[in-house]
Structure 1
Amino acid sequence: MAVPAEIRTRVTDWCAQCLPAEERERRRIAFTAVGDTLTILDRRPPAFPELGAVWSSVPLARLRAEQDRWVLFVPSVGGERWERREPAAADPLELLARIEPAVRGAG
């Protein structure tokens, strides 16, 4: 099952609102969607853009659709695994609200 277009649009808006405009030159919040999973990313520009490097990405959270609910996963300490956080929610934006303070403070 693919993530519905309406959810993608709402998460795109959420990502755009996470950071003030003046901070967006040095970092961005974005997401990728694969199947029924969204991965929220902290994106940073390359240290040496003249070398043609791409922006780096650090995963901040993962949202997965399970039946009629969304489940939040966060990286474990060390970032080797994903840890499930309860409770699940019908609206994925409700789950994103839980991680928003950490997203804003990650700069």
Structure 2
Amino acid sequence: MALPESDVARVQRWCAARVPDNARDQVRIECELAQRHLTIVERRPPWHENLGPDWTTSAIARLRYNATDKSWTLYWTDQHQRFHLYDQLAPSRSIDDLLTEIDRDPTSIFWG
């Protein structure tokens, strides 16, 4: 089953709003889509010309969708880019609950 289109659009708008237009040449917050989850990532340009033109990508959070009960669960990523269940927030049918928790970041696990 595909992810709910309205939720995907909501996360994409949220990501776009995180960085002002005048800073997007330095950092971007984007959403990568998969069949059962969304991954919010931070992208940065190469800091040295020898690294080539590709931007680096670091995962911020993963939002996993459960089609059975139509809920979203939040995951955080460690320094090795492995995902772990974020146990400070129960699964929710509202994607906004997860985005609000990422914004609040009470444990400093998403934004540092």
Instruction: Give the TM-score of the pair, scaled to structure 1.
Output: 0.81
Root mean square deviation of aligned Cα: 2.5
Partner residue, 1:35: 35
Partner residue, 1:13: 13
Which 5+ residue runs of structure 2 have no aligned equivalent?
A: none
Q: Provide the aligned length of Structure 1 versus Structure 2.
A: 105
| Distance (Å, rounded) in 2 between the aligned partners of 1:33 and 1:80 | 17
When you count strand as a share of all residues, which structure comes out higher? 1
Structure 1 stretches of at least 4 aligned residues deviating more than 6 Å after TM superposition = none
| Distance (Å, rounded) in 2 between the aligned partners of 1:7 and 1:91 | 8
Q: Is the 8 A contact 1:18 1:100 kept in 2?
A: no
Q: Deviations over 1:52-87 (max 9, x none)?
A: 4211100000000113110000013x3353111231
Identity within the alignment, %: 31
Partner residue, 1:81: 82
Query: Which one-letter code corresponds to 2:73 in the other structure?
Result: V
Which 5+ residue runs of structure 1 have no aligned equivalent?
A: none
| Distance (Å, rounded) in 2 between the aligned partners of 1:87 and 1:98 | 11
Secondary structure (helix, strand or coil) at the match of 1:87 reads coil
Range with greater deviation from structure 2 (29-38 or 51-60): 51-60
When you count helix as a share of all residues, which structure comes out higher? 1
Structure number with the bigger relative contact order (C-alpha 8 A, sep ≥ 6) is 1
